[in-house]
Structure 1
Amino acid sequence: MGAKRIGRKEVYKGKIFTIVQDEILFDDGSVAQWDLVVHNGASAVVPITENKEVILVKQYRNAKDGYVLEIPAGKLEKGEDPLECAKRELEEEIGFKAGRMTKICSMFTAVGFSDERLHLYMAEQLQVGKQNLDEDEYIEVVTYPITKAVEMIFKGEICDSKTIAGLLAVENLLRYSK
């Protein structure tokens, strides 16, 4: 069983992503048109303090039309190393640098319609740096014990997918690294 892309047409080009319409040829000879959001990718970081607290950002998100709790994250610049992006976002968004960064995984954020790949890290041995928000970023930095943050997932208080994946992964890593 196989399929391959035989054509691509750009439909929209924006600041953050591009939308294309692909033609896909299947083994039986049929052709389908699929829409795809093309994105440079992103990095996200779960910052953990020595007291096993996670530092999150609370910010307005248009998709929810409300405030969302998230781990620090940002999009990759063209050709940027994902680890360098993670370090940059950690300091820009919450004002910390990490003595140790551990790669958790890379994952597609919405593989059904986007090629965005998110690189997920855990940051430990935090040291104070300098917060430097983008011009259009209005965030509040909040801290929760990792166990409380995970409870908040199941209460619907944390609804962002990268944050959910990151918190569950880090809680698991911390539990089994004792």
Structure 2
Amino acid sequence: MHKFEEKTLKTEEIFNGKIVHLKVLDVKLPDGKTSKREVIYHPGAVAVLAVTKENKIVLVEQYRKAAERALIEIPAGKLEPGEEPVKAALRELEEETGYACEKLEPVTAFYTSPGFADEWIHLYLATGLEKLANPKATDDDEFVEITEFTREETRQLLASGKICDAKTLIAIQHWLMTEAQK
């Protein structure tokens, strides 16, 4: 047991949705007092840093209701029940961009917002991209625009604040750092 661990005493499910579940937990704190925690449980997700043979990053723009605006992001999506992250990454790359890749390698994995959610994202680097003649269709409720950006254009997007979601910032930071190390 870690010295900061909180022991769950009681769990109450508040919402059980298509993607997330919200529970309120009564917890015992390390000092013996009790408190409540609201936790969103998520099936996990994948994100893909897709780099073309011309060394451009593939980004998608889509409306995000929670942000009430369109965001420019790397391709990503949730894991289906029992789905391996690598298979989900290949699926999401094809569905959202129409690309397949020759090589897919893990970069890192991380919590998106551990203060209230358990979502864990697996980030992959896809290279050797090939545009597919008949890619899988996007989800019925998903509308995206695909764009490719050079490193300099990507730096400008970052400086302008047009890229502002965590998974994309982490992926681009990795992409720019690996170039700087060459």
TM-score by length of 2: 0.92
Match among 100, 103, 115 for residue 106 of structure 2: 103
1:164 — aligned with what?
Answer: 169
Return the alpha-carbon distance in structure 2 between the equivalents of residues 47 and 174 of structure 1.
Answer: 15
Inter-partner Cα distance in structure 2 for 1:10 and 1:139: 33
> Paired residue for 2:142?
137
Note if contact 1:18-1:37 (Cα within 8 Å) is conserved in structure 2.
yes
Which residue number corresponds to residue 146 of structure 1?
Answer: 151
Percent identity between the two aligned chains: 33
- 1:85, 1:147 → 2: CA distance? 29
Q: CA deviation at 1:29?
A: 1.4
Name the CA distance, whole Å, in 1 between partners of 2:108 and 2:35: 31
Cα distance in 1 between the residues matched to 2:147 and 2:167: 17
State the Cα RMSD in Å. 1.2
- Does the CA contact (< 8 Å) of 1:94 and 1:131 recur in 2? no
Could you tell me which amino acid in structure 2 is paired with residue 73 of structure 1?
Answer: A
Partner residue of 2:124 out of 104, 121, 137:
121
**Separation of aligned partners in 1, 2:165 and 2:155:** 12
**Residue of structure 2 equivalent to 1:12:** 15
Question: Is the Cα contact below 8 Å between 1:99 and 1:126 reproduced in 2?
Answer: yes
Tell me the alpha carbon deviations over residues 7-48 of structure 1, each in whole angstroms, 9 at most, x when there is no partner: 211110111100001121123211111000000000000100
The amino acid of 1:103's aligned partner reads P
1:175 corresponds to which of 158, 175, 180: 180
The structural deviation recorded for 1:131 is 4.5
Which of 26, 29, 52 is equivalent to 1:26?
Answer: 29
In structure 1, C-alpha distance between the alignment counterparts of 2:128 and 2:45, rounded to whole Å: 23
Measured against aligned partners, the alpha-carbon deviations of 1:40-97 in whole angstroms (never above 9, x if no partner) come to 0000001001221001111111122221101000000122111111110000000001
Task: Give the count of matched residue pairs.
Answer: 177
Q: Mark the runs of 5 or more structure 2 residues left unpaired by the alignment.
A: none
